């Protein structure tokens, strides 16, 4: 996996060469409950499940890539690339441990027409990893915005890639306003991993 900073002032990185096993998506529907996010009836979160060999192989490869990001944070490499990290996390990531349970990885199926307005994540979220599991519609990548006006969705300074095996990693901050608009004429399929605040304070 390759990790590329997008701005020295904003903790957003583009991911590429993220190799993952193909998932049996129809099987995911059988294992998921009908839980739709309140902002849209076009998003379907689907959980990986214990005991499914394909899902466990996916988890193993996913965590291998996430370990690369964890090392990137813990060894100080991220701090050298983004000047915003020092005021965000002045004590570094020495006690950080990546969330490893299967339930921490969600598969998101965003149907054509799904949209999520510009927002920053709540304070229990340290960061997020998003990876495309297929070649998703052009323009459906996560967009990051310059200003804190949630209505100013046009002022996007960067949009994540949409090709399979690419994605974004970002740390939640005052300047990571972001949105999603899937209106490219097809469905969007991604893997999604939130880093909870509690994982910043693990007893190693």
Identify the CATH number of the domain in which residue 108 sits: 2.60.120
Whether 45 maps to a domain, the answer reads no
CA distance 65 to 72: 11
What pLDDT score was predicted for residue 30?
A: 55
Whether 140 maps to a domain, the answer reads yes
What pLDDT score was predicted for residue 184?
A: 74
Tell whether pTM > 0.85: yes
CA distance 104 to 49: 11
Whether 85 maps to a domain, the answer reads yes
Residues β-bridged to residue 106? 47, 192
Give the mean model confidence (pLDDT) for residues 137-163: 83
Whether 120 maps to a domain, the answer reads yes
Task: Say how many domains are in the chain.
Answer: 1
Give the mean model confidence (pLDDT) for residues 38-54: 79
Whether 139 maps to a domain, the answer reads yes
Whether 115 maps to a domain, the answer reads yes
Give the mean model confidence (pLDDT) for residues 95-106: 91
Whether 44 maps to a domain, the answer reads no
Give the mean model confidence (pLDDT) for residues 65-80: 96
| DSSP labels, 154-179 | T-EEEE---STT-EEEEE--TT--EE
Residue ranges making up the domain that contains 56: 2-30+51-200
Query: Does residue 26 surpass a pLDDT of 60?
Result: yes
| Selection from 104, 125, 123, 119 nearest residue 193 by Cα | 104
Look up residue 149 and give its DSSP letter.
Answer: -
Whether 40 maps to a domain, the answer reads no
């Amino acid at each position: 996996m390759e990790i590329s900073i997008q701005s020295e002032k904003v903790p957003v990185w583009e991911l590429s060469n993220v190799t993952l096993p193909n998932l049996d998506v129809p099987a995911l529907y059988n294992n998921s409950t009908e839980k739709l996010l309140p902002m849209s009836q076009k998003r379907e979160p689907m959980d990986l499940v214990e005991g499914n060999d394909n899902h466990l192989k996916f988890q193993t490869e996913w965590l291998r890539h996430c370990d690369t990001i964890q090392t990137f944070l813990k060894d100080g490499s991220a701090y050298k690339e983004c000047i915003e990290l020092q005021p965000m996390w002045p004590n570094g990531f020495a006690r950080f441990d990546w969330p490893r349970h299967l339930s921490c990885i969600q598969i998101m199926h965003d149907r054509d027409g799904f949209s999520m307005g510009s927002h920053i994540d709540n304070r229990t979220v340290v960061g997020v990893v998003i990876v495309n599991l297929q070649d998703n519609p052009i323009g459906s990548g996560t967009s990051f915005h310059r200003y804190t006006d949630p209505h100013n969705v046009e002022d996007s300074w960067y949009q994540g890639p949409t090709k399979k095996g690419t994605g974004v990693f970002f740390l939640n901050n005052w300047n990571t306003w972001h949105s999603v608009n899937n209106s490219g004429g097809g469905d969007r399929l991604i893997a999604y991993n939130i880093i909870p605040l509690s994982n910043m304070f693990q007893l190693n």
